[in-house]
Amino acid sequence: MPRKKPSGAGPWVDPDDAPPLTAEHFARADVYEGERLVRRGRGRPALATAKRQVTVRLDPDLLERMRATGPGWQTRMNDALREWLTKRSA
C-alpha cells in the first residue's frame, strides 16, 4: 500500500529568496482602506476599440447551442456575426 505524505505546513521558504518589492510592484497593486477597495491595480491594458455590452434577445435553442460550445462562446458568436456581415455586404 502506498505511504501517505505527512500533513502539515509546506516547506519553509527563506524570505531572503523573495524578489525585491519595487515601485512598479506597488504601482500595479490594489489599494485597500481596511476591507474597502480604493483603487484597482493596473491590469490588462485598455483596448484601442473596446467592446460594448448590449442586450439581445435570442431563441433559447440558439443560446443553448452556443453556450454548449464551451468557454469563449461569446467571442465565437461575435466572429459568426462579423463573418455574416462580411458575406452580406460583399
Residue with the larger pLDDT of the pair 23 and 17: 23
pLDDT tens digits for 58-86? Answer: 999 999 999 999 999 999 999 999 999 99
Q: Over the chain, what is the mean pLDDT?
A: 86
| pLDDT score, position 2 | 75
- Listed by start position, the domains of the chain span 19-43+57-89
CA distance 76 to 80: 6
The pTM assigned to this predicted structure is 0.50
pLDDT tens digits for 51-64? Answer: 899 999 999 999 99
Q: In Å, what is the CA distance from 60 to each residue of 46, 56, 65, 70?
A: 33, 12, 9, 16
